[in-house]
Amino acid sequence: MDYRYEHFTSCVSGITRCIQKIEADVMEKHGLKGSYAQYLAVLKRYESGLTVSQLSEMCMKDKAAVSRAVAELEAKTLVSRLATGDNLYRAAIVLTEKGREIAEYVAQRAISAVGCVGLDEQEIEKFYAALESIAANLREVCKKGLPE
């Protein structure tokens, strides 16, 4: 019997749990939820900001969850909204100075975490190429359905 599905899903689930634990540990210092680490890391790369929809898509997270996170980050003065006119609905979300400091801390901890996986640079490049291919192919299967 082929156990690849079981092995694959167990590995992915285990990796996800470890990432969530690391994120929670990193963000606890700042009184934030672990899931916010990814939002801060992504916003750090986009200085001109992203809309909630864009951030949601880039992080592969539910838009409502991202909206709630952004509201909390805004309340803690880590992000601000750049309104176009009087409308905040599609405003770009940008990091404040305080948010950039925490995002930089998150980025440094992420680099440290990736360094602990035990792969050299060439292996990491191959791993990410394979992971991106798997993700793209599975997104396609989700759109079209499994072939019969």
**For 17-117, CATH number?**
1.10.10.10
Kindly state the average pLDDT of the residues 111-140: 93
> What average pLDDT does this structure show over 32-50?
95
Helix/strand/coil (H, E, C) string of 62-127? Answer: CHHHHHHHHHHHHHCCCEEEEEECCEEEEEEEEECHHHHHHHHHHHHHHHHHHHCCCCCHHHHHHH
| Cα–Cα distance measured from residue 45 to residue 107, given in angstroms and rounded to the nearest whole number | 10
112 pLDDT band, cuts 50/70/90, is very high
Confidence of residue 1 (pLDDT cuts 50, 70, 90): low
With beta carbons less than 8 A apart as the criterion, state whether 99 and 79 touch.
yes
Domain boundaries, the chain: 17-117, 118-148
What is the overall mean pLDDT for the chain?
92
Q: DSSP label at 4?
A: H
Q: For the chain, give the number of residues.
A: 148
The tokens describing 43, both together, are 């916003």
At residue 32, the 3 state secondary structure works out as coil
Q: Which of 83, 101, 85 is nearest to 93 (CA)?
A: 83
Q: Over 80: is that where the pLDDT of 14 sits?
A: yes
| Whether 44 contacts 100, CB under 8 Å | yes
